[in-house]
Amino acid sequence: MTTNGASSITTYFRVCDGVRVRFADSKADADTTVLLLSPWPESLWAFRRIWDRVAELGRVVAIDLPGFGHSDGRPELIAPDSSGAFLARLIDEWGLGAPHIVGPDVGTAAALFLAARAPDRVTSLTVGGGAVRFPIEAGGALKNVIEAPSLDLVRELDARTNIGAAVETAAASATEPEVHEDYVSAYDLGRFAESARFVRHYPERNPALRDLIPSIMTPIQVVAGRNDDLVPWSNNEYLHDLLPNSEIHRLDAGHFAWEQAAEDYGRLVADWVSGGYRRVVAG
């Protein structure tokens, strides 16, 4: 698949902890590794517009987290803390060393739990756009999914129609039909409701994360769109205020900042990974 402004990204499948994971790998022989975590309800193709920029930094590996994109999942893995533990295993099994992690949206909580509980597995984080605040602040469809009385109500949604509408601003069906279909098909046939388990854990997991965040010494860059109506900007400020070593950047974009403001997003990731992350711990 080749997309506008991006080189072809080849995807593969590999098993980790008994789960078939879809991934892409630049396979560069480099000392620096960047691990990209798919946002929701998208897939690793969300990084197509920054792939070339990030690939200049070293080896780049992108994955669909368990239960997201086209990776398989188990219910117990589709939660912020268990996703973080899964990432620690994947980093070890795949020999990724201590990568710089880029984890927008649902990747934010997973990456933070990883950094809190296995700090030696990661060098830095770029996160943001995840509803990690407590008390929870979320809007629109995300708020409805989190607060739905049961998953049955989520299962009743027409996932293909709803996901198609949600990702249209990030990957328009008319101009990027293959990417659009990759997103939509990832959550068809009941997979959207299963993936929703992750955000439905926020009410119980966010308080635990709040208690852990001040202990995370990993350098962290918080990057998100200022006009996000699903995950209000307050979530990003909350992180920046609690984290000991962080920077925060507000982009002129909505929820899908990594696609809607890809040039700025890619520039910030490149600057950060190439040494900028040291700024926040210089003192």
pLDDT above 90 for 2: no
Of the CA atoms within 13 Å of residue 70, those in its CB half-sphere come to 17
pLDDT band at 189 (very low <50, low <70, confident <90, very high): confident
Backbone angles phi, psi at 240, to 5 degrees: -60, -40
Q: Is 282 helix (H, G, I), strand (E, B) or coil?
A: coil
6-10-11-17 Cα dihedral, nearest 10 degrees: -110
% of the chain exceeding 70 in pLDDT = 96
How far apart are the C-alpha atoms of 253 and 81, rounded to whole Å? Answer: 28
pLDDT digits (tens, 9 = 90+) for 152-174: 988 988 888 888 898 998 999 99
pLDDT band at 282 (very low <50, low <70, confident <90, very high): low
pLDDT above 50 for 185: yes
pTM attached to this predicted model: 0.96
Q: Strand 19-25 and strand 124-128: pairing?
A: unpaired
Q: Strand 19-25 and strand 11-16: pairing?
A: antiparallel
